Amino acid sequence: MTLHTIETGFFKLDGGAMFGVVPKSIWNKSNPADENNLCTWALRCLLVEDGKRLILIDTGIGDKQDAKFFSHYYMHGDQTLEDSLHSKGFKKEDITDVFLTHLHFDHCGGAIVRRDDQLIPAFPGARYWSNEAHWSWATNPNEREKASFLKENILPILDSGKLNMINSPETKNETVLETSSFTEDFKVRFVNGHTKAMMLPQLEYKGRTLVFMADLLPSAAHLPIPYIMAYDMFPLTSLQEKKYFLEEAVGGDYILFFEHDPVYECCTLQKTEKGIRAKDFFRLNDL
């Protein structure tokens, strides 16, 4: 297995929303806000070479929305999904699988493109992966979350005939973060605090365990247990999931890969007097 970081640019979100009940006087030290209280966040994906499969984990926001939509999120940076793939020696046609951790627009928007007023898969040779529980949740959204589930990002996947479902665990013990297998070295952890049945890829890589954190831990600044996004549907579930995962991760010396951290790609963990915190920061290429 070989892993590649795929950068797709940056966007901005409200700092208060990203840190929930944590006061700005605290979170602003690690993630400084601009004059509009907005903080910069990465749109970082992961490319997995696994035998004959080339698996892209999440796709960023994409570029098919209108100017009004993008005016809320202040997209910036020089990197795009396509350019980042090219820098690794690949093109969209090479992707065999698109693994979507969940269907919020900043994670799946790049999966579908607009061509001649048609919405089609951005990766023509790929299978697209979700799971039945999350798909049902996303296509029948609640009023609070519906702005994150955009039908133009989701329904064309089904219409294309390329939608596949990951097998969900039979048990529903949310505390222990149940896992399923995707490939031999690619397991899937299910979490339910941020949104229903979000999937966290867990990869065995170079003798280490690496976990793609999606929105359970969007950045290293979210490592403290109470630092839970206001976007989370079930914050107390997120809290319990974080506690369980971090204890397991520090004990197993896991590598955490951050999708939204504007500075840090990866870290390991250590126990401190304040709780579990980052130990070493590094880039994937440094492994």
Q: Is the CA virtual torsion 7, 12, 14, 15 positive or negative? A: positive
Q: What is the pLDDT of residues 71-121, one digit of tens each?
A: 999 999 999 999 999 999 999 999 999 999 999 999 999 999 999 889 999
Question: Distances in Å between the alpha carbon of 238 and those of 28, 35, 143, 253, 260?
Answer: 22, 30, 20, 21, 17
Q: What is the pLDDT of residue 183?
A: 85
Q: Domain range for residue 104?
A: 2-286
Spell 12-25 as b/e; 16+ CB within 10 A means b.
bbebbebbbebeee
- Of 50, 72, 39, 40, which is closest to residue 203 (Cα–Cα)? 50
| DSSP helix/strand/coil, 251 | helix
Number of domains in the chain: 1
- Sheet of 97-99, strand order: 2-14, 38-50, 53-57, 97-99, 127-130, 163-165
Query: How far apart, in whole angstroms, are the C-alpha atoms of residue 9 and residue 262?
Result: 10
End-to-end alpha carbon distance in the chain: 13
Q: What is the pLDDT of residue 277?
A: 97
CATH number at residue 220: 3.60.15.10
Q: What is the pLDDT of residue 172?
A: 56
Q: What region, left, alpha or beta, does residue 253 occupy, with left being phi > 0 and alpha being psi -120 to 50 degrees?
A: left
Question: Whole-prediction pTM value?
Answer: 0.94
Q: What is the pLDDT of residue 160?
A: 96
Q: What is the pLDDT of residue 123?
A: 97
How many Cβ atoms sit within 10 Å of the Cβ of residue 114?
A: 15
The total number of residues shown for the chain amounts to 287
Q: Which residues of the chain have pLDDT under 50?
A: 175-176
